[in-house]
Homo-oligomer: A and B are copies of this chain.
Amino acid sequence: MTSQAAPLTTGPVKVVGTGLLGTSIALGLRTAGVAVQLSDASPSALALARDLGAGEPEGPDSAEPALVVVATPPDVAGDVVLDALRRHPDAVVTDVASVKAVIAAEVTAAADGAQRARYVGSHPMAGRERSGAAAADADLFAGRPWVIAADDAAAPATTAAVRAVALDLGALPVTLAPQEHDDAVAVVSHVPQLAASLVAARLVDAPEGALSLAGQGLRDVTRIAASDPRLWAAILVGNAGPVAAELRLLREDLDGLITGLESAAAEGPLAPGSVGALSRVMTAGNTGVDRIPGKHGGAPRRYATVQVLVPDEPGELGRLFGEVGHIGVNIEDLTLEHSAGARVGIAHLAVVPSSAATLEHELTNRGWRVVAE
């Protein structure tokens, strides 16, 4: 994931804030062969990052950094960026906070033009339930989008320097204006996060018998609701405007669903308007899902799914995928489905439609029980 040859990044790079993101960036840059200086308000956090091999603590003898990466909590990122721009008059400065417009505004308000030209915000889209340097990983960003929140105030050389870091860490640079970024994460990340929590919150008072009927759909919808509330409260408050705007639109659709269902409950399925809102929202949902890009960022594509019953015994899954490998069909995506109490799982293998028949045939010949999608 990290670059094999010479790094694209010009060092030394100073990383301010040695939590999960800062330490992971430092580790990745070190792996790529870039000199890294570390800075953190907490001596113990700093020592842990150093001991993990993330770099050397910044000291009086440290060389002047060519790039400063601010990886502090979002609420102080703006001030730390401004401090870095003043202390390192030749360095490019970026931050990796999950919200971009507010910080860009803070920097623009307090920096002179030359300083502002050396700053561009960024946001590596690397989700993680855990936090702290102990959870850091040089490969955290491999294959993940990394937003460069470029605007007219940032010099092209500034944007190029941050882009180089993303590439050295194996990430996929995506250029969006700060507000575009904030609006985007509201719809693709923050609203889904809250929706998962809203659905999971309905389970708190549900009877045991109801939970015993839980299927894969419920598990998928609520999986990210297990995330850290404190972490997310900070992220969401930092993007409060765009998230509230999206939630208001969602509530309009929800009100339509409730009204339709209430009329159906009161007057029966033939009540006027009882089905209209349901059909409209679910049809829009079909359209929305189709817009989510598939692999390689290409146009969304429909894969054929081959479902295979897998006995719940050690090695059975290995045997299945070993044979899929022999068959030579590439699995584009997969999920393993367990129902409560099941002694078998159902592996959902997504393949290009042209390969589905072959895979079904070959697996059946090898004694696997293939069930229709």
Contact = CB atoms under 8 A, between A and B. Distances in A.
Contacts of A318: 321-326, 331
A261 B247 contact: yes
B291 A204 contact: yes
Contacts of A77: none
Interface stretch (A59-67, A81-89, A277-285): A277-285
Interface stretch (A7-15, A105-113, A114-122, A125-133): A125-133
A225 B282 contact: yes
A57 B242 CA distance: 59
Nearest to A319: B325
Contacts of A367: none
Contacts of A244: 258, 261-262, 265
A43 interface: no
A287 B201 CA distance: 7
A320 interface: yes
A202 interface: yes
A68 to B, nearest CB: 25
Interface string A198-241: 11111110110111111111111111111101101110111011
Tally of this chain's copies: 2
Contacts of A144: 215, 339, 342
A79 interface: no
Interface in A324-349: 324-326, 328-336, 338-346
Contacts of A243: 261
Q: Is the interface of A mostly helix, strand, loop or mixed?
A: helix
A183 B282 CA distance: 21
Nearest to A236: B278
Nearest to A314: B330
Nearest to A209: B176
Contacts of A152: none
A250 B174 contact: no
Nearest to A287: B204
Interface of A: 1, 75, 125, 127-130, 135-137, 139-140, 142-145, 147, 172, 174, 176, 180, 183-185, 187-189, 191-204, 206-207, 209-227, 229-230, 232-234, 236-238, 240-241, 243-244, 246-251, 253-255, 257-258, 261-262, 264-265, 269, 274-275, 278-279, 281-297, 309, 312-326, 328-336, 338-346, 369, 371-373
11 contacts: A135-B373, A139-B309, A143-B341, A187-B203, A236-B278, A237-B264, A240-B265, A297-B340, A314-B325, A314-B330, A318-B323
